[in-house]
Amino acid sequence: MNNALINLQPAKVWQHFGELMNISRPSKHEEKVSAYLQKFGHDHGYETLADEVGNVLIRKPAYQGYENAPGVCLQAHMDMVCEKNGDKQFDFFTQGIEAYVEDGWLVGNGTTLGADDGIGVAAALAILDDKSIQHGPLECLFTVDEETGLTGASNLHTDWLKSNILLNFDDEDEGEYCIGCAGGIDTVADIDYTTRPVPSGVAAFRIRVYGLQGGHSGDDINKGRGNANKLLNRILWNATEKCKIGLARIDGGNLRNAIAREAWADIVVLPEHVSELKEIVETFATNLQFEFRSTEPGLTIELVKTEMPSCLIDEKTHHNLLDALFACAHGVLAMSREIENFVETSTNLASVKMDNKQIHICTSQRSSVESAKLAAAQKIESTFRMIGAHVSHSDGYPGWTPNPDSKVLKVGVETYKRMFGHDPIVRAIHAGLECGLIGEKYPKMDMISYGPTLRGVHAPGEKIEIKTVEMFWNLTLEILKNLK
């Protein structure tokens, strides 16, 4: 076990979490963890199933006296977001996650921790591992690729689950029950470009924007955090207008569901404009650090000399790209009129990448209103169509409509209040949850989502509050006991 986990309680949960920390499980590469879960089920003598995409279902018989209790499915996703700091030497495919304890939190050391949703998987395994826990017929569903496409839930067989109740372990705030979520869709723009020669006598520079918090493109979209792609583009747009820079390469962000933390661009400039370029970058650094002084204290912008590029992006595409990125919406588009302080619709300018022929811009849209979700995607499409980009959309996924009369919610609220002395918060979230897809396939499924407290998910330094894991564990055991 990782030394940081020794003596943490509940021991079984942390033991299983420690084992998961040493298993490679990036999204779309869950083969090792899927095999591990299947072996776990078989070794314990449980009925264990796996489907063609890698989802795993393990069934545990009811505790004696609970045979007639309603069937319950515990559900968590096995993949994790793999993000690391730029200066961190780490391979998610071959190395175990490193972590340390600080001020009551378990923290990823320069990388994501994988508590999203490794802690949910670990809790389910700990319940499977303990035959003294009181519960009805139990199913544990472990899905693949939640983070980058909801592939596991999308391909879930409609005749797999026998349960009537589902406890989703993918919430990030102790003391809350989630009963609804936003649907989502991705919009991708591909821009063709040609190259032009690098003029003689120019100087080459790299502009970097880094030190941002990033975060989840749903849960954190309303927190006023900077998007590295947008900030870099503001600098490039102004430098193009004033210094006539040439653009050689641009790269920013990584994952569709993460707010971009870092971005850079390689440019060239004539010697007579170098001083002006430096002044522009310095001015933007000062202004942007002031703009984001309360939300991005680590924001850093720098201009450094770099190797001379072999070619530049053609001028028309250079200008079109920067215009479109400037116009491309990012952030909250609408707040809910029914639920206070709840984001209804948003969009995230996730990444800007390029190869030898095209520039690829990935964005994602979310909304708890299906028509608004589609309108947001069309808004982004229209922005990039105006410069001749090839625009495509993912299939998307549905939202989860709240059911305030839910039986499992009632049991959960009463149990929480009895255990902790106050009412839990009941809310919907602006992130996508697999519950939306599971509910579409199993319309009669009664569902809630909850979990321990996580912070900084999808970003290096992701952390989980240790004491809330024990609260989450004890709460789950009581809910299972009371569902009769």
Instruction: State the pLDDT at residue 149.
Output: 80
Alpha carbon distance 202, 467 (integer Å): 58
My answer on whether 145 and 283 are in the same domain is no
Distances (CA, A) of 397 to 54, 259, 342: 19, 20, 20
Reading the block at residue 213, the tokens are 């918090």
CA atoms of 310 and 303, how far apart (whole Å): 20
Q: What is the pLDDT of residue 369?
A: 85
User: Of the residues 393, 411, 437, which one is the last residue of a structural domain?
Assistant: 393
**100/102 Cα distance (integer angstroms):** 7
Query: What SS3 state is found at 242?
Result: helix
Q: Are residues 173 and 192 in the same domain?
A: no
Name the domain boundary from 348, 363, 393: 393
446 touches 408 (CB < 8 A): yes
Residue where one domain finishes, among candidates 347, 367, 393: 393
Same domain, 437 and 386: no
- Residue 470: which domain range? 3-180+399-482
Q: Does 146 qualify as catalytic in the annotation?
A: yes
**158, 445 in Cβ contact below 8 A?**
no
Sign of the C-alpha dihedral, residues 222, 225, 230, 235?
Answer: positive
Shared domain check, 61 and 170: yes
Q: Which two tokens stand for residue 432?
A: 């996508």
Nearest to 266 by CA among 315, 306, 206, 193: 206
Residues in Cβ contact with 334 at an 8 Å cutoff, skipping those fewer than 6 apart = 343, 344, 345, 367, 372
How is 445-471 classified by DSSP, letter by letter? -EEEE----EESTTSTT-EEEHHHHHH
Sign of CA dihedral 196, 197, 200, 204: positive
Q: Which amino acid is at 25?
A: R
DSSP assignment letter at 312:
E
Query: Is 118 within 8 Å of 146 (Cβ atoms)?
Result: no
User: What pLDDT score was predicted for residue 316?
Assistant: 98
On whether both 7 and 147 belong to a single domain, the answer is yes
pLDDT value at position 49?
Answer: 98
Contacts of residue 133, Cβ cutoff 8 Å, sequence gap at least 6: 63, 127, 477, 480
pLDDT score of 1? 59
CATH number at residue 258: 3.30.70.360
Q: In this predicted structure, what is the pLDDT of residue 255?
A: 86
Among candidate residues 30, 79, 176, 465, the one labeled active-site is 79
Q: Which of 146, 147, 186, 462 is catalytic?
A: 146
Q: How many residues does the chain have?
A: 484
Q: So what's the pLDDT on residue 261?
A: 96
Kindly state whether residues 168 and 190 are assigned to the same domain: no
Tokens representing residue 18 in the block? 């420690």
Taking residue 288's Cβ as centre, other Cβ atoms within 10 Å add up to 18
Tokens of 209: 């924007």
Instruction: Tell me how far the alpha carbon of residue 93 is from its chain's centroid.
Output: 19
C-alpha 234/C-alpha 245 separation (Å) is: 14
Amino acid letter at 367? S
Q: How many domains does the chain have?
A: 2
* 23 lies in the same domain as 118: yes
Sign of CA dihedral 152, 154, 157, 163: positive
Q: Are residues 212 and 325 in the same domain?
A: yes
All residues at 6 or more sequence positions from 275 whose CB lies less than 8 Å from its CB, including other chains: none
Q: Are residues 153 and 242 in the same domain?
A: no
176 and 219 housed in the same domain? no
User: Are residues 66 and 127 located together in one domain of the fold?
Assistant: yes
Rounded CA-CA distance 97/178 in Å is 28
What are the DSSP calls for 244-309, one per residue? --EEEEEEE---TTB----EEEEEEE-GGGHHHHHHHHHHHHHHHHHHTTTT-TT-EEEEEE-PPP
Residues in the chain predicted with pLDDT less than 70, given as ranges, are 1
CATH code assigned at 16: 3.40.630.10
Q: Listing from the earlier edge strand, what are the strands of the sheet with 105-108?
A: 99-102, 105-108, 463-465, 454-455
